[in-house]
Structure 1
Amino acid sequence: MKVLGIETSCDETAAAIVDGDHTILANKVLTQLEEHKPYGGVVPEIAARSHMDHLDRLIREALDDAKIGFDDLDGIAATAGPGLIGGVFVGVMTAKAIAASRKLPFLAVNHLEGHALTARLTEGAAAEFPYLLLLVSGGHCQLLAVEDVGCYTRLGGTIDDAVGEAFDKTAKMMGLPYPGGPLIEQIAKQGNEDRFDLPRPLKGRSGCDFSFSGLKTAVRKKIIEIIGEGGNPDHMSALDKADLAASFQKAVGDVLIDRCKRAMDMFEEKFGRPGPLVVAGGVAANLTLRAKLKELTDTRGTKLLAPPVNLCTDNGVMIAWAGLERLRLGLTDSLDFAPRPRWPLDQLTGVKDLHK
């Protein structure tokens, strides 16, 4: 069984092909970083136009890499939400056109489910259902119990900023270029993580929700203390930036660990064990945060499962794999499926719906 996956929900144009033996036959990703860098963030119209310009070529290159044609595919999957709706439309309409012309099943994949199921492709039996999921990216920060395909229980989420957004905005305040998250991790390696006293929002509170706006505000106040109100962040010394980045990253890690501990307790109460814990999404590429989560799972007697770094950020592989998992179960979609800018994971059609 082979499925083509298309991802166009934000600023990566991606096409990939996977098969039922957990093999990635092709993986093409075109980043738009240089196009959006002058604006300090993703511009939706620019992103959508870039998807239109490059998607057809990437699909052809994916087929060539896999050494197959359209007639060798068993299904066409595309991110149908959530995301920037212009880009989502480009991917969905392309996938529908291929599915209709080749009489293949169309699979409307939730972008978040793509992240949620990637570990089942890369980790195999270690990621058997159920597992606990920490989904952390530029737009999302959630803890969920994953019981099966399409079966998600939300244990907690952010009440304001997503953690990836906090990384990028902190970097911007420090005068670092977009995207700032990876740069924060890089310069933090040379910093003193105990120099700046920053808050840990909601740490110790009941539940599994997150909050990062207060932490971001505290970082801004520290920057003002260093350069003055209205000062240029370029006047911060390299040492100040490294220490602030390290202190910020430590605070984020402490919050994630605290929230995950509570989620593990809830998961263990329901399923009789604390995990495994799967971490997914763009922020899962942060190896410092991964190490902290690994320490937590080791102390709780369970495993941390994380996709390879190149499969943490947006890609077509995760969409192809989620589509393949759905295709196996017969969870296909009609060609009148409407793309969605918002689409919570706990509103998906899944395995439980097959037995109603």
Structure 2
Amino acid sequence: MGASVWFFFSLASLGALHVFAVSVRLLASLAPCLRRPKDLRRRYGEWAVVTGPTSGIGRSMSLELARRGLNLVLVGRDPAKLRDVSETISRAHAVQTKTVLFDFSLVSTAQGDEAMRRLREAVAGLDVGVLVNNAGVAKPGAVYMHEVGVEAWARMIRVNVLALTEVTAAVLPGMVRRGRGAVVNMGSGSASVLPSFPLYSVYAGTKRYVAEFSRSLAVEYGNSGIDVQCQAPFLVETNMVSSAVKASLISQFVLTPDGYARAAVRWIGHGTLCVPNVAHRLQGWFVGLFPDFGTDAYRLEYNLRQRAILRRVKPWRKSQASSPVPAKDEVGVGVRSD
């Protein structure tokens, strides 16, 4: 009887220790959400540059930064949408705005070089304190790599990797001269939290670059008064995911762009890699409870279901394998991660 009691007590103690350890990890994950936001204008400068500001996270981030008193340089590819968001910001907030036309899928071409020249001219002489590299593309969505022509992947890399790198290189020198600044690069939970993201392999690869690029820059410029951060959101509702796919998601964990932006702006300057929203941090904590092979298997099955939904909603076109896929200015948050 004594041995049985001792055995039961030992198991109960191990269980209690495990629960305690898990609870500590959860509290440690959520505690940073209580930090006070920085006064971005005073800490970093009067202007912010936002890429991909015409919809989704980019639009909401632009409005939130304007609400906090920052003037904005809005960089995107659609002149009508740029004008619309600029006018919306000017009506709602007493800040200045500039717009720069830039199709990021043309970066490293003659047209892209001209757009980069316009961006450098636009920020010259401005006290640019915050750069938000939000522009990105996730299309064509959940597919096997061989099902889409290489030009689609090349465009994704140009937008998600090359453009982000060139824009950062254009804005950083001014921050270095002034000895202050914040660079916010929009990554993805698919690359920074999940062990893999099958059927979005190129997308996840580009976002992994963003995370490593940000981490190294944070060390490189840490003594220059410049904070570099990669934000890794999970699901945020944008127009880059079909309504059929959205209907299959757990709504409590899918943020609105405005909800994400409020949390994201509060996190600027706090940490090199962050998942800003509480709901997303809970998702990341939950994922960490499972071994990678289990998460990999679930992720593959889930993304195959997304692929099946997309094929039903929009009949698969064989010509897609050879047709270029248009790049988007906004970030594809439907596949940031799940």
TM-score w.r.t. the length of structure 2 is 0.31
TM-score w.r.t. the length of structure 1 is 0.29
Specify which structure has the higher proportion of strand. 1
| Rg larger for | 2
